[in-house]
Amino acid sequence: MKPAALICAAMLALPLPALADVLTIQPVTENVWAIVGPLEQRNPENLGNNATFGLVVTEAGAVLMDPGGSWKGAAMLHDAIRQITDTPVTHVINTGGQDHRWLGNGYWQAQGATVIASDAAVADQAARGSMQLTGLSQLIGADGLEGTEPSYADITFASDYALELGGQTLHILHRGQAHTPGDSFVWLESADTMFTGDIVYVDRILGNGAQSNVKSWIAAFDAMAAYEPAHIVPGHGPATDLPKARAETYDYLVNLRTRIGALLDEGGTILDAPGIDQSAWSYLVEFDSLAGRNAQTAFEQMEWE
C-alpha cells in the first residue's frame, strides 16, 4: 500500500479535481472509505454512478462494494480508487440487483477481480438486465454505455458468505428482499463498519419500486441494525451512523406501511395513496418525484397481504 492510502482525512474529503462533479471520497475509518456519487438521476456525467460505493484496503488487496453503473462508470470509479491506493482491487461485492450494483462487473473482471453476489441478486440481475440497459441508454447515452454488457458474479451464495483477505473478514449477508430481491449487507467487524447497499438511503428518499418489498425491507434493516455498527456506508448518501440511517430509511418505511395500512382499512384506493402524510421526509432529495410512487407501490404490495 502506498502512502496515499494513509492521507489525512481532511485531504481525502476534498473532491477529486477530475471527478469533482461526480464522485467524492469520504474516509470512514482506518483503511475504509466511502466513494459518494450524486443523489440525482443517472446522466451522461455520472455514467450511472448515482450511488455510494465502499472500499476496504487490506495488505492482500482491496475490496470494492459495488462496481459502478456501466463499464465507463467502473473506470471512473477506478480513477477515484487510484487516488486512495495503488493496491489492486481483488474482489468486488454486488450488494444487490440495481444497475450500479452490478453492470460495471465486466470492467473489474477484466482487471482480474473476483465478483461475489447472492443467488437472489444474480437472478434479479438476469431478469432485469435488458430493461436496465435500455433505461441506461436513454439516461447516460450510447457513448456512456459503450462497453457495458451483463456479467455475473464468479462466486454466489444463498444467505451468508465470509470473504477473508489480508487478515480481514468481510461477512456478506443476504436477509431478504429490500430495494431489490437480492440485497445484501457487508459487515466488517474489525472496523465496526457496515456497508448496506440499498438497504439504507440517507439525504435522499428511497425508491420503493416493483422490485422492492417494504415489509421484508424493514426486516432486512432490522437484521443489519442488530450488529449496532458505529459506521454505515449506505447505498445512497454519505457515510453516516445508525440513528440517521434509521430516521431516513427505517422510519420512512414504517410510516409507509402504517399509513397505507390505515388507508386500506378505511376502504381507500390506490388513487388515494399519494395523499398519505409523508411530510416528515419532504426535505430529502427526490421527495417530490418519488413519494407518491412509493405510496402507490406500497398499496399494491399490501392490498392482498
How many Cβ atoms sit within 10 Å of the Cβ of residue 238? 18
> Domains in the chain: how many in total?
1
Q: Look at residue 47 and tell me if it is in a domain.
A: yes
Parent domain of 179: 3-242
Q: What is the pLDDT of residue 21?
A: 75
Distance CA 36, CA 271 (A): 36
How many Cβ atoms sit within 10 Å of the Cβ of residue 222? 11
Distance CA 187, CA 172 (A): 7
- Cβ proximity of 125 and 87 under 8 Å: no
Q: Look at residue 258 and tell me if it is in a domain.
A: no
Q: What is the pLDDT of residue 182?
A: 98
- Cβ proximity of 258 and 74 under 8 Å: no
Q: What is the pLDDT along the chain (305 residues), one digit of tens a residue?
A: 333 333 333 333 333 334 557 999 999 999 999 999 999 999 999 999 999 999 999 999 999 999 999 999 999 999 999 999 999 999 999 999 999 999 999 999 999 999 999 999 999 999 999 999 999 999 999 999 999 999 999 999 999 999 999 999 999 999 999 999 999 999 999 999 999 999 999 999 999 999 999 999 999 999 999 999 999 999 999 999 999 999 999 999 999 999 999 999 999 999 999 999 999 999 999 999 999 999 999 999 999 98
Using alpha carbons, list the distances in angstroms from residue 198 to 178, 183, 212, 264: 8, 7, 10, 27
State the CATH number of the domain containing residue 51: 3.60.15.10
Q: Which three cell numbers stand for residue 107?
A: 470492467
Q: Look at residue 77 and tell me if it is in a domain.
A: yes
Distance CA 245, CA 251 (A): 9
Query: pTM for this one?
Result: 0.93
- Cβ proximity of 141 and 188 under 8 Å: no
Q: Look at residue 272 and tell me if it is in a domain.
A: no
- One DSSP character per residue, the chain reads --GGGG--HHHHTSPPGGGTTT-EEEEEETTEEEEE--SS---TTTTT--SEEEEEEETTEEEEE---SSHHHHHHHHHHHHTT--S-EEEEE--SSSGGGTTTHHHHHHTTPEEEEEHHHHHHHHHHHHHHHHHHHHHTHHHHHTT------SEEESSEEEEEETTEEEEEEE-S-SSSTT-EEEEEGGGTEEEEEEEEE-SB-----TT--HHHHHHHHHHHHTT--SEEEEEESS-B-HHHHIIIIIHHHHHHHHHHHHHHHTT--TTTGGGS--GGGTTSBTHHHHHHHHHHHHHHHHTT-
Q: Look at residue 155 and tell me if it is in a domain.
A: yes
Distance CA 259, CA 40 (A): 27
- Cβ proximity of 172 and 143 under 8 Å: no
Q: Look at residue 236 and tell me if it is in a domain.
A: yes
Q: Look at residue 31 and tell me if it is in a domain.
A: yes
Q: What is the pLDDT of residue 20?
A: 56
Distance CA 233, CA 195 (A): 5
Q: Look at residue 287 and tell me if it is in a domain.
A: no
